[in-house]
């Protein structure tokens, strides 16, 4: 199916390009690759649009100052501005997702549990419907005076939330660094030439790795799945809910765990 980008997102991308003409675009994206096509995704051409084929999502590289520039701060400010616009369905950035409360019952910010934590780019999806996905009015930008509907408290990113976003980015970076150097696994990650992989190199080529399906892609995917499992276990143990903890134990290990616990209780 032929595809075209949502007019609303065409407007957003044009404004970002005008605001940051020298920005890095290596992690930009619109239409989905084969991995996206195998599952529901706003990156896939829609059949319910008029005309059919509209892509309702874009990825914007988080480095808004150009290759080699800072990788946080400006993108966080851009996200804070974008989510005040009612056309947004959800935004994913640095391991967190914001869902529009007008669309999702659990709207607002929360940790993102998907495999791709979106460490190198900002994902923006717009709402379905011509009044949203085809609306080409200017988007709010950092420091702009664009008039938009007054957002609710759930729609805005407070200074505390922005600080939390940066803290989470630091946490993700530290965990990625441990993974790259093999501190926890004993197996340092290497690039396609067999050289030690670097955090900068991995972040810059992340979108390429996801498309290539090579060994590095598999290792990155395992890393993110591992982080998701760690978060789920930490949440369950913190809740001290036996049912939640038991649900995370694989079925093939359940009996062994029960036997070990029984022995501990007897001892």
- Of 139, 103, 119, 129, nearest to 180 by C-alpha is 119
Question: Which domain does 239 fall in, by range?
Answer: 168-266
Are 77 and 174 in a shared domain? no
Q: What is the pLDDT of residues 210-224, one digit of tens each?
A: 344 344 444 545 555
- Residue ending a domain, choose from 112, 144, 160: 160
Average per-residue pLDDT in the chain? 75
- Residue ending a domain, choose from 126, 160, 194: 160
pLDDT confidence bin for 155, thresholds 50/70/90: very low
Q: How far is CA 137 from CA 10, 70, 77, 99, 165, in A?
A: 11, 30, 20, 21, 28
Beta bridge partners of 8: none
* pTM above threshold 0.75: no
Whole-number pLDDT of residue 148? 42
Interior angle at CA 84, CA 81 and CA 89, nearest 5: 110
Are 42 and 110 in a shared domain? yes
Whole-number pLDDT of residue 82? 95
pLDDT confidence bin for 154, thresholds 50/70/90: very low
Q: What is the pLDDT of residues 25-64, one digit of tens each?
A: 888 988 866 555 556 788 889 888 888 899 999 999 988 8
Number of domains in the chain: 2
């Amino acid at each position: 199916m032929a595809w075209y980008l949502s007019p609303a997102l065409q407007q957003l991308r044009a404004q970002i390009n005008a605001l940051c003409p020298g920005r890095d675009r290596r992690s930009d994206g619109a239409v989905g690759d084969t991995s996206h096509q195998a599952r529901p995704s706003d990156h896939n051409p829609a059949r319910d649009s008029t005309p059919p084929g509209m892509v309702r999502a874009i990825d914007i590289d988080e480095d808004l100052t150009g290759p080699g520039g800072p990788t946080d701060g400006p993108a966080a400010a851009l996200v804070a501005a974008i989510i005040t616009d009612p056309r947004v369905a959800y935004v994913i950035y640095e391991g967190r997702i914001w869902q529009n409360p007008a669309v999702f019952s659990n709207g607002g910010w929360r940790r993102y549990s998907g495999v791709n934590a979106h460490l190198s780019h900002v994902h923006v999806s717009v709402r379905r419907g011509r009044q949203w996905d085809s609306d080409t009015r200017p988007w709010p930008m950092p420091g702009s005076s664009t008039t938009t509907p007054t957002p609710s408290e759930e729609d805005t990113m407070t200074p505390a939330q922005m600080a939390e976003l940066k803290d989470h980015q630091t946490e993700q970076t530290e965990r990625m660094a441990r993974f790259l150097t093999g501190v926890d696994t004993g197996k340092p990650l290497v690039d396609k030439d067999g050289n030690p992989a670097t955090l900068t190199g991995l972040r810059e080529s992340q979108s390429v790795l996801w498309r290539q399906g090579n060994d590095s892609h598999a290792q990155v995917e395992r890393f993110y799945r591992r982080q998701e499992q760690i978060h789920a276990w930490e949440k369950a143990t913190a809740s001290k809910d036996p049912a939640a903890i038991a649900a995370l134990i694989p079925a093939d290990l359940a009996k062994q765990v029960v036997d070990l616990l029984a022995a501990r209780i007897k001892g």
